[in-house]
């Protein structure tokens, strides 16, 4: 049981007093980010990333990942009390969470949401603990061609699995890759697509894109819905918590199903949002009293929250082992690792075991810390939401602008943030998915270099991608995923002909 | 969520936004392809693929996919379209977007502190109808807090303008 030994060692790294302090700070900041509109996990971490550059690597990543857990918890508060999903993945939680709050069962709904989140995350961390070392060991044998095939699969799955139109998914993905290619080519040193503009020499930083697309774009969307927040107040008493916990035990089947859906969607880049909807749908289909869903059924809170957290957490598995993030937030964390000079991927497990296992141990601890903090501090967060948007809105804009500036100390980035913000709004309204754009921007250079390395190895022949069953299988699967959206169209045509 | 043309409130349909965004993406594809051809998309003997090799194909994917969106949008152009946003909603968005744009321009010339102060004060006074005292405290407090947090504790300088220079900060 190497994993257990490593994990114990990880706990000793994570359990130091400063690191526990960073955990509490991270979770608190995370909940704040999750509660406020316009600040989400991805761009919240993007904004805070520059502040961690002076910190110790392990402490920094522990704090950043705890911000992530906090944001996952925080999204549930706004959806249940205010019917405003603080994060896209908590949309499904509003369906039954808000009716429960209206019926005066806000305490029970929140307890159910937080506990389910915790359960989802806990199982996903277990999965990471035991599966990640295996995947990493396996991936050590990967060459450039295999790496490219995995990246190819990641992007093709977006086309195959997203609910948005495939052409739009493909277009934003290509836009992301194109933006990533702007600036100096890392291999030959040639300047690409700068068209003589000095500011473009260093290329587009995905952190700026994240702050603009998710932060400013979200603010504009929030404005559209008007400025009024009308919410329910909530306090959580201990007896409500205990009673709800007892009730939750009855929904163990829903929990297990949601954990499975969540882990699957997290590891493959489906992400937390579709996972939460799928789990909600499955719970409703499996329930005896289907009609009570949408009217305050506690199972309708359990399912999406469990799945969203399981997905959000397991998205870190491919990030740590293969260097491929499963979600935009994981992508930002990956960017952080790269900035600290840590190359995520199979080698990370052998070269920086302290760091990896410290991080995994902090996932266990961070979620426990998070659960305790959210259960005890709910009234405060509800109070923050009662501050009018005319105060919160401009403050969030200021925070985003500061965040965008501090990435490279460049004013041009603040302007780019605004441009990305407008496109974030347009893309959201026109149903262009944002996650593939961000992921392409993060992975662009990596995908290109593994592609070029493979080409060098094979002297320009594409045969290398079908040279052995592993890489061939991955590539074939990628093309299946890519062409998946055409299947229903073909079926329809065939049926019409017969 | 999709809304049909018969939405309760009049507004902007998806027709033009859809078309313009697709055109923008197509233009980006053209930009990528042209520049990739300039730096070379072929094989350099002894070096491998040239700098434009990968972006060229990315540009092609962008052209094909945005072209596809463009054709779909044009074919549906005359049909009833889902609403992009109602005029009321668009006016609200503009109420944020216009001050935001002015703010970003102001950051370029005046630095971040003064601009933030004015932005927060503007929103609180005009949209929030707050009293002068609360407005002033928030509008001054936030930039001051940012100053202490970034410049004093984390030693990260933020953009400053002529007024901060005059104060000798």
Distance CA A139, CA A471 (A): 12
Give residues with Cβ within 8 angstroms of A154, minimum separation 6: A269, A318, A324, A439, A443
Give residues with Cβ within 8 angstroms of B88, minimum separation 6: B9, B11
Cβ atoms A481, A161 nearer than 8 A: yes
Distance CA B101, CA B128 (A): 20
Q: What is the pLDDT of residue A7?
A: 82
Beta bridge partners of B111: B160
Neighbours of A1 (CB within 10 A): 8
Taking 50 as the pLDDT cut, the residues of chain B under it are 1-6
Distance CA A63, CA B126 (A): 38
Cβ atoms A332, A68 nearer than 8 A: no
- Does position A327 have pLDDT exceeding 90, yes or no? no
Q: What is the pLDDT of residue A86?
A: 62
- Does position A97 have pLDDT exceeding 70, yes or no? yes
Confidence of residue A454 (pLDDT cuts 50, 70, 90): confident
- Does position A213 have pLDDT exceeding 50, yes or no? yes
Cβ atoms A84, A37 nearer than 8 A: yes
The tens digit of pLDDT for each residue in A393-428 reads 898 899 889 988 988 888 999 999 999 999 999 998
The tens digit of pLDDT for each residue in A10-53 reads 888 777 888 888 889 999 988 888 877 667 777 888 888 877 87
- Does position A141 have pLDDT exceeding 70, yes or no? yes
How many domains does chain A contain in total?
A: 1
Distance CA A63, CA A78 (A): 23
Q: Which two tokens stand for residue B130?
A: 């707050």
- Does position A387 have pLDDT exceeding 70, yes or no? yes
Tell me how far CA of residue A386 lies from CA of A2, A233, B139, in angstroms: 49, 10, 19
Most confident of A246-250, A260-264, A409-413, A445-449: A409-413
Measure CB to CB from residue B120 to each of A225, A398, A456 and give the nearest one.
A398
Cβ atoms A110, A293 nearer than 8 A: no
Cβ atoms A19, A354 nearer than 8 A: no
Which residue blocks in B12-167 are alpha helix, DSSP H?
A: 15-39, 53-75, 87-110, 112-122, 132-147, 162-167
Most confident of A67-76, A274-283, A323-332, B100-109: B100-109
Cβ atoms A426, B17 nearer than 8 A: yes
Q: Do B51 and A456 touch (CB under 8 A)?
A: no
Give residues with Cβ within 8 angstroms of A128, minimum separation 6: A313, A314, A316, A317, A320, A360, A363
The DSSP call for residue A227 is S
The DSSP call for residue B150 is I
Q: What is the pLDDT of residue A168?
A: 92
Q: Is residue A291 packed enough to be buried (19+ CB in 10 Å), middle (13-18) or exposed (0-12)? A: exposed
Name the residue with tokens 């709904």. A109
| Residue count of chain A | 498
Q: Which residue, among B9, B15, B17, B65, would best test binding to A if mutated, counting the most A CBs under 10 Å from its CB?
A: B65
Q: How far does the CA of residue A118 sit from the closest CA of chain B (Å)? A: 30
Note which residues in 80-99 of chain B have CB less than 8 A from chain A. Answer: 84-85, 89-90, 92-93, 95-97
Asked if the C-beta of B146 comes within 8 angstroms of chain A's C-beta atoms, the answer is yes
Using a CB-CB distance cutoff of 8 angstroms, which residues of chain B are in contact with residue A175?
25, 28, 62
User: Mean pLDDT over residues A101-106, rounded?
Assistant: 82
Distance CA A36, CA A24 (A): 18
Q: Is A55 helix (H, G, I), strand (E, B) or coil?
A: coil
The domain of A10 spans 2-497
> Residue A328's closest CA among A426, A418, A217, A219?
A217
Q: Do A415 and B116 touch (CB under 8 A)?
A: no
Q: What is the pLDDT of residue A233?
A: 62
Using a CB-CB distance cutoff of 8 angstroms, which residues of chain A are in contact with residue B161?
none
Q: Do A178 and B127 touch (CB under 8 A)?
A: no
Distance CA A69, CA A369 (A): 10
């Amino acid at each position: 049981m190497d994993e257990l030994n490593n994990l114990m060692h990880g706990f000793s790294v994570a359990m130091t007093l400063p690191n526990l302090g960073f955990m509490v700070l991270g979770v608190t900041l995370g909940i704040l980010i999750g509660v406020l509109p316009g600040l989400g996990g991805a761009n919240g971490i993007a904004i805070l990333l520059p502040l961690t550059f002076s910190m110790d690597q392990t402490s920094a990543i522990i704090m950043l990942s705890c911000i992530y857990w906090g944001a996952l918890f925080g999204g549930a508060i706004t959806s249940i009390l205010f019917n405003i999903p603080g994060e896209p993945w908590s949309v499904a939680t509003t369906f039954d969470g808000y009716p429960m709050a209206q019926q005066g069962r806000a305490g029970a709904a929140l307890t159910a949401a937080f506990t389910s989140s915790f359960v989802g995350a806990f199982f996903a961390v277990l999965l990471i603990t035991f599966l990640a070392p295996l995947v990493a060991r396996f991936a050590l044998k990967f060459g450039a061609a295999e790496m490219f095939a995995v990246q190819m699969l990641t992007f093709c799955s977006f086309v195959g699995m997203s609910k948005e139109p495939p052409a739009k998914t493909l277009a934003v993905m290509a836009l992301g890759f194109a933006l990533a290619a702007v600036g100096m080519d890392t291999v030959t040193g040639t300047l690409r697509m700068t068209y003589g503009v000095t500011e473009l020499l260093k290329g587009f930083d995905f952190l700026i894109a994240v702050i603009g697309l998710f932060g400013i774009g979200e603010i504009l969307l929030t404005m559209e819905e008007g400025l009024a927040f009308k919410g329910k107040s909530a306090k959580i008493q201990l007896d409500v918590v205990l009673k709800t916990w007892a009730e939750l035990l009855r929904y163990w089947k829903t929990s297990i199903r949601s954990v499975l859906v969540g882990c699957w969607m997290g590891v493959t880049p489906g992400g937390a949002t579709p996972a939460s909807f799928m789990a909600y749908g499955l719970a409703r289909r499996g329930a005896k009293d289907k009609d009570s869903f949408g009217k305050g059924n506690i199972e309708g809170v359990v399912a999406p929250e469990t799945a969203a957290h399981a997905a959000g957490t397991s998205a870190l598995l491919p990030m740590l082992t293969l260097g491929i993030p499963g979600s935009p937030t994981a992508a930002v964390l990956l960017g952080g690792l790269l900035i600290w000079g840590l190359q995520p991927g199979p080698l990370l497990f052998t070269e920086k075991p302290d760091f990896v296992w410290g991080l995994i141990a902090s996932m266990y601890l961070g979620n426990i810390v998070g659960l305790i903090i959210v259960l005890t501090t709910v009234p405060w967060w509800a109070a923050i939401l009662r501050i009018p948007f005319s105060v919160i809105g401009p403050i969030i804009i200021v925070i985003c602008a500061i965040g965008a500036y501090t990435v490279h100390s460049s004013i041009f980035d603040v302007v780019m943030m605004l441009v990305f913000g407008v496109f974030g709004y347009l893309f959201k309204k026109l149903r262009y998915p944002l996650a593939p754009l961000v992921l392409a921007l993060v992975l662009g250079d990596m995908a290109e270099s593994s592609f070029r390395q493979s080409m060098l190895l094979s002297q320009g022949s594409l045969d290398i991608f079908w040279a052995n069953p592993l890489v061939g299988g991955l590539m074939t699967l990628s093309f299946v995923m890519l062409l998946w959206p055409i299947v229903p169209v073909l079926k329809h045509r065939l049926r019409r002909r017969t | 969520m999709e809304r049909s043309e018969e939405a309760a409130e009049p507004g902007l349909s998806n027709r033009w936004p859809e078309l313009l965004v697709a055109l923008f993406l197509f233009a980006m594809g053209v930009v990528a392809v042209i520049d990739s051809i300039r730096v070379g998309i072929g094989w350099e003997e002894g070096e491998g693929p040239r700098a434009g090799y990968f972006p060229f194909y990315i540009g092609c994917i962008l052209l094909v996919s945005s072209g596809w969106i463009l054709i779909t949008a044009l074919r549906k152009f005359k049909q009833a379209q889902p609403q992009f946003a109602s005029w009321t909603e668009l006016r609200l968005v503009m109420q944020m977007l216009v001050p935001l744009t002015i703010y970003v321009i102001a950051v370029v010339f005046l630095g971040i502190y003064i601009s933030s102060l004015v932005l927060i004060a503007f929103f609180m006074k005009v949209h929030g109808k707050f009293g002068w005292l609360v407005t002033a405290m928030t509008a001054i407090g936030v930039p001051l807090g940012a100053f202490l947090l970034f410049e004093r504790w984390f030693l990260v300088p933020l953009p400053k303008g002529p007024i901060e220079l005059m104060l000798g900060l």
